[in-house]
Structure 1
Amino acid sequence: MSEDLKKKTAKLTLFAITWPIFIEILLHMLMGNADTLMLSQYDDNAVAAVGVANQIMSIIIVMFGSVAAGTTILIAQNLGANQTKRASQIAVVSIVTNIVFGLVLSIVLFFFGEPILLAMNLPEELMSTSLIYLKIVGGISFVQALIMTLSAIIKSHGFTKDAMYVTLGMNIVNVIGNYIFIFGAFGAPILGPTGVAMSTAFSRILGTIILFILLYRRVKGDLPWSFLTKKFPKRELKDLLKIGIPAAGEQLSYNGSQMVITFFIASMGTAALTTRVYTWNIMMLAFLFSIAIGQGTQILVGHLIGEKKYEAAYQRCLRSLWIGMSVSTFMAISFAFFREEIFSIFTDNQEIIQLGGALLILTVFLEPGRAFNLIVINSLRASGDVRFPAYVGIISMWGVAVFVSYTAGIWLGLGLIGVWIAFILDEWIRGILMLRRWKSKKWMRMSFIVEEDDKEKNTGNKANTN
């Protein structure tokens, strides 16, 4: 590890790590919204077709994210333990694993996109548009896999600004490409959704190239590609999947439970469904802070666990939790206070404005509970405690969120109010259980630092002394 990198990792602070992550997440969200907004000026059917294709892509991204999640934690722990060689080996294994995984999924989406879309009961008039988009964007899924992995490696080393700047650049390129191909600017052909897919693909390829360049500059060429030619990386791959599979399972379970709850809401009528969409988009600005603080805390806790500074890691999580709860609660109260003005920006339907306003008031109680999960769960994972959050999360998502949504929302007739009560119960129950787990300190025995590496160091030191 270079001296610059040592100094960088030694000076990691929550604010320095978190604010670029927040901007990066916000930009990712805006990138998807930009596609939808610009396509809406072209054709409503195009928006629907691309939306269905992106639902498939969101599931694929969860799978890639499983390897990226393991990458972040393992590299942070090993850098904290000053095991830079093993951190670099994990980086190489992560890159190759997600490339292989991504290529397989790219081939599946390119050649079997139509059967997949038919299985989703896609209307015939949307099929050709959705299929073209899926073949272009899905066909380069391995590029998205690389972006997530390279970004995880760079952020684990503390260079969160790099990932933010790359995401900003990708957004700019994507919007310019959309403008050119949707509206036929500068004499270009009007390609609609095909043009959106092309600009998305180009921006991601360009982003990948820049991330590779940044990776080599930051890690100073310490990526041991020859490591893979000497032996099969069984240990590294096992650790990556040990973290990634529970994390992916939890995320897929969350997506599934939300789809079921959306089905419940759809049965309440169009106004309820529309209100849910508007309210959720407004809420995202509140819990984006908790997401960013959770990811930043994960990196810091991983480094502290690697250094065996368990008490410092314990306190770091608790401080981050109170910061996250305070910020998200303040944002939720602000939205609740100006609820009618905010909803009036989106609609003049008084039913939606009144119902959405009531949901924003309930959000004041929801967001602190969500902060529990986004911050404490990331800390537990960073310590190596990956199964408990996944098991509790899956049980609560279905046993509380889905069950109470149906019971209170439909059976008791409370509608969206009942659904929001279910969300509040789910987040707080999980959050309290996660905090109890953290305070039990059982996670102190679960790090992924390999003791054999320490033994090898000691043996080498003895030999040098002799």
Structure 2
Amino acid sequence: MHRERRREVLALALPILGGMASQNLLNLVDVWMVGSLGPAALAATGLANFLNFMAVAFITGFAPAVQAIAARRIGEGRAAEAAAPLNGGLLLSLAIGVPLSAALIAATPAIFAALVADPAVVREGVPYLQWRLVAIAAIGINFSFRGYWSAVKRADYYLRTLVTMHALNIVFSYTLIHGLFGLPRMGTAGAGLGTTLAVVVGTALYVYLGLRHARPHGFLVQRPTPEQFRSLLRIGLPSSVQQLLFSAGFAVLFWIIGHIGTEALAVANVLVTITLTAVLPGIALGIAAATLCAQALGRGHADEAQRWAWDVYAVGIWIFGALALPMLFATRPLLAVFVREPALIELGVLPLRLVGATILLDGLGLVMMQALLGVGAARLVMVVATALQWGLFLPLAWLLGPVLGLGLTAIWIAMGGYRLLQAAIFTWAWQRRDWARIRV
């Protein structure tokens, strides 16, 4: 691969990766801030964060659609229309997010009461989640902007805005949790409000940047046509459904592992945390591939589009290899960062090594999945990902774990197999090039 192509991949992928990494760092800071309020507050916000993740999963699925269409317009030389899908994404975020927020805020007390028996956890969790749910529409808007900035190769705007949001979140949340500067001491509710305020400020920053840099592309000027809306929905809805079912699948997985035992559930939480952190480079590189492939296809160069996905993966191999090394050769020290009991560390050794052994091919699957989304093959991605997760892996996990009693390692072998099969199918689909005929 030419040095110029490598630089182009890294220039696009690194800001996205930086933004995603900052989100993980913020999650750790949030745990630290809320942890001072006691175990009930920590448990409540942990559950609430997962519920909020499921609540916003659907609305964030429109970001790949915005990116795919905007990048295609750039490639076609129709830059003046590139912000039309962004405008559509903003309208859909408001139309879906506002009523969804209202409905879920009203239902939050019942949801917590159904899931948690401890009144203290319910008392801490309900106001925190309600404040977080206020921001659903704003999160949808922010993700639409991420898709647009990625499509026009200005992912640095995404990184800058996200880092600003995270810094403000720390200030807002810490101030409201502890009631500094004469403000009321709100506890966990203050943490939720602080995060929502930071998200809204981020939305305002995105709009400001859009007005400064995206007006020539039609930002808030060009109204999406019915055909453009249909294209946005045709790509966005499958992606949204996939995101929702993917997040719900983790809830089912934890429920399954909970039937094995508390120790297995504790280790599984650590394994999932490490795995989701390790796949961030694959997602960031995949988003870069989506833009590069879509722009090439817009120029009518299907061969170049196909080659871009492989060039992106060639850059990622070194990153995936570096991530695999500690999982394979420093497994116990890595697990010891999260758990102290020697028995729990031993329980997680083989599953974590399996993650390390498969991350190179799992990374290939992530790059190919995002590339397929970038060229408009969202329905294929949804069908494959959902069928493998819900039709194969989760039933197999139930059989191997609670039914046959083979434990956590057997479930992680099944997970590795399902992820490798998914990577193989996405790679096969990419090589078939049926996507070259998709119009967006």
Shift of the alpha carbon at 1:179? 2.4
Q: 1:244 aligns with which of 225, 230, 236?
A: 236
Whichever residue aligns with residue 303 of structure 2, its letter is E
| Change in CA separation of 1:180 and 1:88 when aligned onto 2, cut-off 3 Å | closer
Superposed CA offset, 1:222-243 (max 9, x none): 4364544xxx732111111111
Shift of the alpha carbon at 1:130? 2.4
Asked if the contact 2:328–2:357 (Cα under 8 Å) also holds between the matched residues in 1, the reply is: no
Shift of the alpha carbon at 1:143? 1.7
Shift of the alpha carbon at 1:112? 3.7
Superposed CA offset, 1:361-409 (max 9, x none): 1112231232132110111121122222211212211233113323333
Equivalents in 1 of 2:51, 2:277: separation in Å?
Answer: 24
The alignment status of 1:441 with 2:405, answered yes or no, reads no
Secondary structure at 2:61 match in 1: helix
The alignment status of 1:388 with 2:383, answered yes or no, reads no
Q: 1:287 aligns with which of 279, 283, 292?
A: 279
The more displaced of 26-35 and 111-120 is 111-120
Equivalents in 2 of 1:114, 1:410: separation in Å?
Answer: 31
Q: 2:195 aligns with which of 194, 200, 203?
A: 200
Give the equivalent residue in structure 1 for 2:147: 152
1:137-176 aligned within 5 A: 137-176=132-171
Asked if the contact 1:301–1:316 (Cα under 8 Å) also holds between the matched residues in 2, the reply is: yes
Give the equivalent residue in structure 2 for 1:52: 47
Give the equivalent residue in structure 2 for 1:455: none
Shift of the alpha carbon at 1:161? 0.9
The alignment status of 1:181 with 2:176, answered yes or no, reads yes
Give the equivalent residue in structure 1 for 2:68: 73
Shift of the alpha carbon at 1:297? 0.9
Give the equivalent residue in structure 2 for 1:413: 405
1:252-267 aligned within 5 A: 252-267=244-259
Give the equivalent residue in structure 2 for 1:462: none
Equivalents in 2 of 1:60, 1:82: separation in Å?
Answer: 37
Equivalents in 2 of 1:134, 1:346: separation in Å?
Answer: 25
TM-score relative to the length of structure 1: 0.87
Asked if the contact 2:62–2:239 (Cα under 8 Å) also holds between the matched residues in 1, the reply is: no
Q: 1:367 aligns with which of 354, 359, 366?
A: 359
Structure showing greater radius of gyration is 1
Equivalents in 2 of 1:152, 1:270: separation in Å?
Answer: 39
Equivalents in 2 of 1:66, 1:195: separation in Å?
Answer: 28
Equivalents in 1 of 2:123, 2:277: separation in Å?
Answer: 34
Equivalents in 2 of 1:256, 1:50: separation in Å?
Answer: 18
Whichever residue aligns with residue 73 of structure 1, its letter is A
Equivalents in 2 of 1:69, 1:12: separation in Å?
Answer: 23
| Change in CA separation of 1:140 and 1:440 when aligned onto 2, cut-off 3 Å | closer
Shift of the alpha carbon at 1:134? 2.8
Q: 1:335 aligns with which of 327, 335, 338?
A: 327
Whichever residue aligns with residue 368 of structure 1, its letter is L
Whichever residue aligns with residue 256 of structure 2, its letter is F
Asked if the contact 2:177–2:190 (Cα under 8 Å) also holds between the matched residues in 1, the reply is: yes
Equivalents in 2 of 1:115, 1:221: separation in Å?
Answer: 47
Give the equivalent residue in structure 1 for 2:291: 299
Whichever residue aligns with residue 172 of structure 1, its letter is A
Superposed CA offset, 1:321-343 (max 9, x none): 24334422331222321122222
Equivalents in 1 of 2:222, 2:281: separation in Å?
Answer: 38
Asked if the contact 2:287–2:370 (Cα under 8 Å) also holds between the matched residues in 1, the reply is: yes
Q: 2:263 aligns with which of 228, 250, 271?
A: 271
Structure 1 unaligned spans of 5+ = 1-9, 449-466
Shift of the alpha carbon at 1:35? 1.8
Asked if the contact 2:112–2:126 (Cα under 8 Å) also holds between the matched residues in 1, the reply is: yes
| Change in CA separation of 1:39 and 1:324 when aligned onto 2, cut-off 3 Å | same
Equivalents in 1 of 2:392, 2:234: separation in Å?
Answer: 26
Shift of the alpha carbon at 1:347? 2.8
Give the equivalent residue in structure 1 for 2:81: 86
Whichever residue aligns with residue 424 of structure 2, its letter is I
Asked if the contact 2:176–2:186 (Cα under 8 Å) also holds between the matched residues in 1, the reply is: yes
Equivalents in 2 of 1:361, 1:34: separation in Å?
Answer: 28
Whichever residue aligns with residue 90 of structure 2, its letter is I
Shift of the alpha carbon at 1:312? 0.8
Asked if the contact 1:91–1:223 (Cα under 8 Å) also holds between the matched residues in 2, the reply is: no
Superposed CA offset, 1:152-211 (max 9, x none): 222221110111111111111111223223344455443211211221122112111111
Equivalents in 2 of 1:122, 1:235: separation in Å?
Answer: 49
Shift of the alpha carbon at 1:25? 0.8
Secondary structure at 1:308 match in 2: coil
Equivalents in 2 of 1:114, 1:138: separation in Å?
Answer: 13
Whichever residue aligns with residue 160 of structure 2, its letter is Y
Residue-pair matches, total: 436
Shift of the alpha carbon at 1:12? 8.2
Secondary structure at 2:218 match in 1: coil
Q: 1:33 aligns with which of 28, 33, 41?
A: 28
TM-score relative to the length of structure 2: 0.92
Whichever residue aligns with residue 106 of structure 1, its letter is S
Whichever residue aligns with residue 162 of structure 2, its letter is T
Asked if the contact 1:71–1:153 (Cα under 8 Å) also holds between the matched residues in 2, the reply is: yes
Equivalents in 1 of 2:102, 2:241: separation in Å?
Answer: 23
Asked if the contact 1:102–1:141 (Cα under 8 Å) also holds between the matched residues in 2, the reply is: yes
Give the equivalent residue in structure 2 for 1:431: 423
Root-mean-square deviation over aligned CA pairs: 2.2
1:215-230 aligned within 5 A: 215-223=210-218, 225=220, 227-228=222-223
| Change in CA separation of 1:225 and 1:322 when aligned onto 2, cut-off 3 Å | closer
Equivalents in 2 of 1:433, 1:420: separation in Å?
Answer: 20
Asked if the contact 2:62–2:236 (Cα under 8 Å) also holds between the matched residues in 1, the reply is: yes
Equivalents in 2 of 1:152, 1:385: separation in Å?
Answer: 16
